[in-house]
Amino acid sequence: MTPSGSLHSLDNGIAVIHSNQLEELRDVVEYWLRQHPLSPLENEVFLVQSNGMGQWLKQSLAQNTSLGIAAAIKIQLPSLFIWSVYRSVLGEQIPKQQLLAKSPLIWRLYRLLPALISQPGFETLASFLIDDSNRRKRYQLAVQLADLFDQYQVYRSDWLTDWANGQDTLRNARGEASRLPEPQRWQASLWRTVLRELDADKIMSASRSSVHAEFMNRIDSMHVRPSGVPRRILLFGLSSLPQQSLEVLAKLGKFSQIVLFVHNPCQHYWADIIEDKELLKAECRRHNYKSGMTGTLSAEELHLHAPPLLAAWGKQGRDYLRLLDLFDEKQTYAKWQWPDSKIDLFRDYGHPGQRSLLQQLQQSILDLEPLPAEPTLLPRIDDSIAFHVAHSPQREVEILHDQLLSRFEAAQQSDSPLYAREVIVMVPDINTYAPHIRAVFGLMQADDPRYIPFSLADQHQRGQNPILVAVETLLNLPESRFTVSEFLGLLEVPALRARFDIDESATPKIHQWIEETGIRWGLNATQRAQSVVMPLNMDANTWQFGLRRMLLGYAVGAGKPFNTIEPYEEMGGLDAKWLGGLSWLLETLEKYANILKCEKNPADWQHALLSLLDDFFVVSDERERKILEGLSRSLTQWGLHCEQAGLTAPELMPVNVVREAWLMGVDEPLLNQRFLSGRVNFCTLMPMRAIPFRVICLLGMNDGDYPRNQQAPGFDLMSQRGQYRPGDRSRRQDDQYLFLEALLSARQQLYISWIGRSIRDNSERPPSVLISQLREALSQGWTLPDNEPLLDAITVKHPLQPFSPSYLLKNRDRRLFTYAREWFEHSPIIPGNDHSLTVSDQKTLSLSIETLAHFLRAPVKTFCNETLKFGFDDETITSEDSEPFNINRLEAYVLGKHLLDTLINENPDDIDAHMAQQQRATELRGQLPLAGFAQAAYESVAEPVKSTWEQYQRLLPEWPIKLDAHVLTLPPFVLMNGITVQLTGILSHLRQCGHQQLTGAIDLTAQRLVTDKPIKYHTLLLHWVQHLAACANHLPLQTLVIASDGVITIPAIEQSEALTQLESLVDAYCQGMKAPLPVACKTAFAWLNSTPDKALEKAAANYQGDDWNNGEVRYDAYLTRFFPRFADLYRIDNGENFVYWASRLYRPVIDYIKNENVQESQS
């Protein structure tokens, strides 16, 4: 057949063009479109199987100026195109949407299942649906079955045909029929039941299998191209197609020009190197055997003739290429005007003698070369294949950012600069990595030289988009406890706040109101009693309880309780305007909690859910508008599917079933999702995404995470032994071939990282089996001069933290580097560079006595907070989602302090009456447990307060004169390194002794400090530092700490001694801001309070814990970060170790606060 001479005429037929590089295939496409253009108003139809491939192809065509603009290009998915062809050939009797497609089939099965499970043979399904009062299991089973039958329609249409004809058989790949196993015969019965539901005139058009059979019969009798079928169809970059689709394309070749541009990793025939090769024996082969290789090789001989990676990962591609051979008649199109008259366009990777390690590996696959008997000597190492071992996804992304910056910088200095659009990063699940990517790449501003533009693709909107998160929360209202966290999550959604006139600036204030009014969960007492078994009269800590307190506080301000409602006195001013919006939102939530609780038919659900969208959201930008339109569209589509399935008015459904169906429809991926946008692309590893990039990065290549293992349901007959057919889809095989395509698509570097070390104990973790296979092939195939291990040379093991000294040591591995200067520009752990330190940059440092005391209490935490500028503490207001059942230590401390303050301010005559009054007020504020728990919880705090107060009253006559606060005027401390430190602070709670000129600092606490030996020294460190400062400031002071179980006295200290002690602490602080000191406060006191023979044992138990108690490190994330074990803390490699710092910082505290300074309570 020769090309026609007419400009717009085309030669009909099906052509298959092979190449190992997509760029070559793209060039052929451009050539073909230029040489054989369609008419001006005709669309070029391209079939691709991923959004990314379609965008890459369109951009490539647009860049070719000889083609003009890239217009009139129609990109379609193969399945949608094939269905449109069915309709073009068979006419309007074929509906636009398939009646038995997966989505409508779900609801047909959902309707049929209750009647079916009572019939003989359906016992398997009946057992699954036991205890299914909310019908969640019924819906899940319908989804599984619909997906399975959808797969059958594509890959096992002959089974469905047999079942429809009453034959309970299974045909294998050879066409041999066997009886359907007895436990699975319900599948054939179920399919016949589905078909009986349909009208006689719709049975043929209902399923893809029957439509395909009718198409194959009808197309042979046609002699003119059907209307709607394009004259030319181009399939680009597909690495898999069902045989059913290929049969349709082969028939269309009679009327249209169809060209398949196929990515083929090898230029020789390679189907026989993989298992199940006997299923693919055929008369014709597109490519010839490689010299010396035949189709009769045994499994033991295959490694002598083929690269192991192609054999291990190529099964899916092998199946597709072999299926193509069944339809490939190259003699019919070989003489078409192809470039250079070639239809096999295989190109070598690089130039011989100049190939990188990556190119040599790619070339060995192209040439079907087995591993050599002796490894090939590499003249030098390169970074074309790089492995990076990290401790967590966060570290993987941080390392990647540094490595890309280095590569961009190196490329900029060469003749071939690297651009962000030439880099792709793929991970097994982008939703897992998206927060880390935003945290690292999104941290840099556009004017920062370290800024790398990036984009995220393939994210599920359902868990990411604020409106969808809010909608899901609202749909859960019937099951909700109405917790504070759920409510605060709703307030984070701008479209919802706008509906209720709540400004973004209002959310912190509303958080504060919620926290301080004691709201925890439950709309009101009634709703709470319906949620759990509780009495109807308990409304404390509900939203109604808190809202009443706010409204009363707005009306009367601070005042006495009214009708058992304690007014919230902080309510007032301009902020009160948001109280109306808060009340409106709660009323609307209550309204829809009742609406959604009732079961409804699909039509009523549509009406109710559209009203919900209108009542809760107001659109403020284009993105929100698209999301709400998508929700409405998905709801309409769901209603249509229910109607097609025969779900009419009598069929009522609960909200949990509707919720899953509605939101699943919104979350379906779209072909028009943004992918290639001129930035570094982050995306999920997906089939059909073998797009060439200069740098391809694969993250998360962990054992168990990749290849992704998707277990088929037990009733999937395609997965049964002996039922495999070439072309069957398998997630594992998809991932294996995708990894092979990624390796072949990298043009300069293949970058691979995985979590190879445990973040907890640094134990080794294996990579994906695919990575292990790749590394083994590299180690067997190539070597370096002087027998240097290749894998060690191309593998970098990174430290746990981004601020590790490993990045800065002079003798470090030069492959360890970081651009994250924030960790080090203030950090004193940079060796040999004192000028980089915060404390050394300032010649004069102002230091408060509170900060110094905090340093004594937690040296490592202070280093992290002050020097490294990070903290693990959550500074935001947090709210609990449960009412209090007891009072924790912090709450007890706060309440005890409040009670002591009221006693000091009011000095009541009747302390019992005063405490009873405070108990009632505390209950009305929602700060005590409910019912009988309240009395015990309150007394656990009140009794120590009363004891402290009684001791204070006994001591007060000795100290009758109250003194004003004293401002410290200490001289500055000039340290050895030339830094001047000015200590500042104010001393309060001062009193004067009546009969002596003595000054005392008297502080009250409801804690127990004395009875449980030894003394709780760690709670006295602020008092100790204040005491030293006063004595050093010519104020000989006696400090008295009155606790619930006694009085601790710190005697006055000589001024010179106090100055010496203070200077030592200040100097220690400066050193502690240079590096984390190897000391922990409580552990140090345990060491110092023990005898020498028991000190080490006591300290270790106090730090790490024992069988009875958790250790100090368990409660301190900062210590865990730097000293996870006591052995890390207790180093003896230099003089300034744990023993040194424990003695220097804390020994004086014990020396001056001894048991003889303690007067225990006699009460």
Q: What is the DSSP string of 843-863?
A: SEEEEEHHHHHHHHH-HHHHH
The answer to which of 74-83, 550-559, 1022-1031, 1082-1091 has the lowest mean pLDDT is 550-559
The answer to which of 464-478, 676-690, 720-734 has the lowest mean pLDDT is 676-690
Chain mean pLDDT for the chain: 86
The more confidently predicted of residues 873 and 902 is 902
926: phi > 0 → left, psi -120 to 50 → alpha, else beta; which? left
Give the residue-averaged pLDDT of 38-47.
91
Q: Which residue has the tokens 């400009």?
A: 7
In degrees and rounded to multiples of 5, residue 839 shows phi and psi of: -70, -30
Dist CA 205 CA 98 (whole Å): 7
Q: Is 1041 helix (H, G, I), strand (E, B) or coil?
A: strand
Those residues whose C-beta lies under 8 Å from the C-beta of residue 221, and which sit 6 or more positions away, are: none
Give the residue-averaged pLDDT of 290-308.
59
Confidence of residue 555 (pLDDT cuts 50, 70, 90): confident
pLDDT digits (tens, 9 = 90+) for 754-801: 999 999 889 999 999 999 999 999 999 999 998 889 999 999 999 999
Structure tokens at 925: 């504020």
The answer to which of 16-30, 237-251, 659-673 has the lowest mean pLDDT is 659-673
Provide, rounded to the nearest whole percent, the portion of the chain with pLDDT above 90: 49
Q: Which residue has the tokens 């984390």?
A: 1076
Residue 837 pLDDT = 37
Flag whether pLDDT at 571 surpasses 90. Answer: no
Q: Rounded to 5, what percent of the chain is helix, strand, coil? A: 50, 10, 40
Dist CA 479 CA 481 (whole Å): 7
Up-side HSE of residue 283: CA atoms within 13 Å toward CB?
3
Flag whether pLDDT at 71 surpasses 90. Answer: no
The answer to which of 324-328, 416-420, 606-610, 782-786 has the lowest mean pLDDT is 324-328
Q: Is it true that 13-93+229-347 and 382-458+673-804 share their CATH fold?
A: yes
Residues in the chain: 1163
Contact 478, 653 (CB under 8 A): no
Dist CA 71 CA 124 (whole Å): 54
Residue at 276: amino acid letter:
D
In degrees and rounded to multiples of 5, residue 156 shows phi and psi of: -140, 50
Q: Is 253 helix (H, G, I), strand (E, B) or coil?
A: coil
Residue 19 pLDDT = 93
Going by C-alpha positions, the residue among 168, 222, 281, 239 that lies closest to residue 25 is 239
CATH code for 13-93+229-347?
Answer: 3.40.50.10930
Q: Is 348 helix (H, G, I), strand (E, B) or coil?
A: coil
Give the residue-averaged pLDDT of 586-594.
95
Confidence of residue 258 (pLDDT cuts 50, 70, 90): very high
Structure tokens at 962: 């109250």
Structure tokens at 398: 């941080």
Please, what's the b/e burial string for 1098-1129 (b: 16 or more CB within 10 A of its CB; e: otherwise)? Answer: bbbbbbbbeeeeebbbeebebbebbbbebeeb
Going by C-alpha positions, the residue among 1002, 983, 977 that lies closest to residue 992 is 1002
What residue segments make up the domains of the chain, in order of their start? Answer: 13-93+229-347, 102-197, 382-458+673-804, 466-666, 833-858+874-1075+1153-1163
Flag whether pLDDT at 916 surpasses 90. Answer: no
Those residues whose C-beta lies under 8 Å from the C-beta of residue 240, and which sit 6 or more positions away, are: 49, 316, 317, 319, 320, 687, 688, 727, 729, 734
Dist CA 1069 CA 850 (whole Å): 12
DSSP codes of every residue in 618-634: ---SHHHHHHHHHHHHH
Written out in words, the top-level CATH class of the domain with range 382-458+673-804 is alpha beta
Terminal alpha carbon distance of the chain: 112
Paired residues of 1049 in beta bridges: 1040
The answer to which of 133-147, 518-532, 728-742, 918-932 has the lowest mean pLDDT is 918-932
Alpha helices in 746-832 (DSSP H): 769-781, 790-793
Going by C-alpha positions, the residue among 256, 323, 251, 249 that lies closest to residue 285 is 323
Confidence of residue 366 (pLDDT cuts 50, 70, 90): very high
Confidence of residue 332 (pLDDT cuts 50, 70, 90): confident
Asked whether the CA dihedral 862, 867, 870, 876 is positive or negative, the reply is positive
Residue 1132 pLDDT = 65
Contact 441, 397 (CB under 8 A): yes
Those residues whose C-beta lies under 8 Å from the C-beta of residue 898, and which sit 6 or more positions away, are: none
Confidence of residue 687 (pLDDT cuts 50, 70, 90): low
The separation between CA 1119 and the C-alpha centre of its own chain, rounded to angstroms, equals 26
Residue 897 pLDDT = 87
Give the residue-averaged pLDDT of 8-14.
82
Contact 919, 887 (CB under 8 A): no
Give the residue-averaged pLDDT of 384-398.
97
Dist CA 841 CA 773 (whole Å): 52
Flag whether pLDDT at 1118 surpasses 70. Answer: yes
The separation between CA 1090 and the C-alpha centre of its own chain, rounded to angstroms, equals 47
Residue 878 pLDDT = 45
Structure tokens at 877: 């207001």
The more confidently predicted of residues 1106 and 700 is 700
Give the residue-averaged pLDDT of 656-669.
85
pTM of the model: 0.78
Dist CA 257 CA 9 (whole Å): 10
Residue 60 pLDDT = 86
Paired residues of 1159 in beta bridges: 1047
| CATH number assigned to the domain with residue range 466-666, chosen from the 4 options 3.40.50.261, 1.10.730.10, 1.10.486.10, 1.10.10.10 | 1.10.486.10
Provide, rounded to the nearest whole percent, the portion of the chain with pLDDT above 70: 91
Going by C-alpha positions, the residue among 394, 393, 432, 441 that lies closest to residue 684 is 432
The answer to which of 144-148, 305-309, 334-338 has the lowest mean pLDDT is 334-338
Give the residue-averaged pLDDT of 1052-1076.
93
Architecture of domain 102-197: Orthogonal Bundle (1.10)
Going by C-alpha positions, the residue among 1146, 1038, 1149, 1073 that lies closest to residue 847 is 1073
224 CB-contact burial (10 Å; exposed 0-12 / middle 13-18 / buried 19+): exposed
Confidence of residue 877 (pLDDT cuts 50, 70, 90): very low
261: phi > 0 → left, psi -120 to 50 → alpha, else beta; which? beta
Residue 834 pLDDT = 35
Q: Which fold has domain 833-858+874-1075+1153-1163?
A: Lambda Exonuclease; Chain A (3.90.320)
Up-side HSE of residue 67: CA atoms within 13 Å toward CB?
26
Contact 647, 111 (CB under 8 A): yes
Dist CA 742 CA 52 (whole Å): 14
Enclosing H/E stretch for 531: helix 525-531
Q: What is the 3-state secondary structure (H, E, C) of 1089-1102?
A: CCCCCCHHHHHHHH
